[in-house]
Amino acid sequence: MAVCPRRTPSSLLVGLLAVTLAGALTPTTVAAAPRAPTTTDLSRPALDRTALDRVALDRSALDRAGPWAAGERWSVDLAVGGGDDVNVRTGAGLLRLADTRPTRRTRPAALAAPVAEGALLAPARTLAGPANRIHADLTAETPPGTTAQVQVRGARATGWTEWREAGGAPVVFDRPVTRVQTRVLLTTRDPKAAASVRAVRLTAAPPPSRHPPPPRSAATGSSPPGRARSAG
């Protein structure tokens, strides 16, 4: 009986099979390609920041406004009508000194320095409601050596208050007033220079409201007035 010779697998074939099996069993990791940022991704942080800034600005504006948001506003008529107006004139919508030379008529008696002065006295305004705070917004040009100032006074049952400067910090009266009068004062130390006022706007704020404390509820353990709590 014939015997077939034994075939021995070649070493090359065994190596190929080992490499194939190792590649099939080893998990492959594929790196994801980086995603390009979209327009939405780029704009979202800016939009969110803009929204936050807008909210902060709105809140800041409300904090600054406070009681002035409900105040009464008006503009002073800068037309010179004579009467109590002294050494001022109006031209091209601007209020100026009529004479910038420091004469006996235009120089304040309390000042020894050569200063020319003029004043516009506006008609008194009757307010829609009592107010105890007045704020003035002055739009003016004041070259060196000149000044422009706004003063106000208020009327109540006992008469007029003293004149108070309304520029910068608001004027606060100790008691509410029902009428307000405004005057604009102009001065110059240089005959060749003069201040010019374009607009004067005022705001009258009512006294702050004082809300009574809310009544205590039964949940706090208090009893209605006039009724005693029963024991046990």
pLDDT by 10-residue block (mean), the chain, 232 residues:
49 50 48 50 44 41 53 93 87 95 66 80 95 95 96 95 91 95 95 95 87 53 48 46
**Cα(101)–Cα(122) distance, integer angstroms:** 24
**Cα(99)–Cα(108) distance, integer angstroms:** 13
pLDDT at 84: 86
The model carries a pTM of 0.60
C-alpha 34 chain-centroid distance? 46
| Alpha helices, H only, the chain | 11-25, 39-65
Beta-carbon contacts of residue 202 (< 8 Å; ≥ 6 apart): 73, 74, 75, 76, 134, 135, 136, 137, 152, 166, 180, 182
pLDDT at 115: 86
Place of tokens 């091209």: 92
186 in Cβ contact with 195 (< 8 Å): yes
If DSSP codes are grouped into helix, strand and coil, which group holds residue 151?
A: strand
pLDDT at 45: 44
DSSP 8-state symbol, 5: P
**Cα(71)–Cα(47) distance, integer angstroms:** 34
108 in Cβ contact with 154 (< 8 Å): no
122 in Cβ contact with 172 (< 8 Å): no
**Cα(130)–Cα(204) distance, integer angstroms:** 9
pLDDT at 73: 95
